Amino acid sequence: MDVLGHYDHGDTIASHETAPRFERQGTVALVGAGPGDPDLLTVKAQRLIDAADVVLYDELVSDAILALLPAAAERIPVGKLKGRHRRTQDEINQALVDHARRGRRVVRLKGGDPSLFARAGEELDFLRRHGYEPAIVPGITAALGCAAAIGMPLTDRRSSSSVTIVTGQAREGEPAIDWRRHAGQRRTLVVYMGRDNAAAIVDGLVAGGQDARTPVAVIANGTREDQRVATGTLAELPALAQRHDERAPALIVIGDVVRLSTAWAPAEPAWTAAW
């Protein structure tokens, strides 16, 4: 079995955890770090992190999680900061393969869940083309972490029977998102990376028939010690979105479930809130 040709799912995953069977050629794992609270790291993520020789991490990975990295592991920040790319995706892909080829246990640590808005597909493509089948370790995505952190379910049989998770940013060169098609009653809309497009989101949803009084929450630094939450109506979203530090990751939740959150501060007492 040659170094680049090794391509066995089960064995590769096992080797990451139990070393040193394939030590010579290394292993790669795409690991979800969750939204920031270190207690939300999965046991498997912690186990792979503890065994890692090198960790390439996003800017979304919180300081509290970084503090858990083993002292012996090499740490490589590869965050793509807003407007300023520290590493291109191509460079990250290549670095994963290069480190693995040196026989290292490589952890690619991503904020939240690695399969949601985290470019895991491109990394998987590249790694597979180079003979690596990475383990994927799910993490708690921002939507779930933030909802729990403000005491809110994402569905509620009285007011919401589905959740839509959507990015607030269209890809460069692609048409703007048509928010009208995301309008709807009895559902929850969760928008990642939407803060800069808050006005367009409101305009589109209202044009699509969404009530401008629909409750919304903007959660910044969700689950972290510096978590901030602003709640109000859909019409107020652009102003709510401005309340937080623009560098903090922020999530927008739109729907009646927001009334159930501990952060909901309606003008009228909660028991009169209309479902």
Ligand X SMILES: C[S@@+](CC[C@H](N)C(=O)[O-])C[C@H]1O[C@@H](n2cnc3c(N)ncnc32)[C@H](O)[C@@H]1O
Q: Which residues are catalytic?
A: 58, 80
Q: For tokens 């009646």, what's the residue?
A: 256
Nearer to ligand X, 131 or 145 (CB): 145
Nearest approach in angstroms of CB 195 to ligand X is 7
Residue whose CB is nearest to ligand X in the complex, by number: 112
Nearest approach in angstroms of CB 219 to ligand X is 5
Sheet holding 188-192, edge to edge: 163-167, 188-192, 250-254, 215-220, 228-233
Nearer to ligand X, 4 or 68 (CB): 68
Nearest approach in angstroms of CB 150 to ligand X is 11
Nearest approach in angstroms of CB 75 to ligand X is 19
Nearer to ligand X, 46 or 169 (CB): 169
Nearer to ligand X, 141 or 159 (CB): 141
In a 3-state reduction of DSSP, which class is residue 101?
helix
Q: How far apart are CA 34 and CA 113, in angstroms?
A: 6
User: Which residues sit at the interface with ligand X, rule CB under 6 A?
Assistant: 35-36, 60, 110-113, 116-118, 141-142, 146, 192-193, 219-224, 249-251
- Residues 18, 100 contacting (CB under 8 angstroms): no
Half-sphere exposure of 216 (CA within 13 A, CB side): 29
Q: How far apart are CA 192 and CA 206, in angstroms?
A: 19
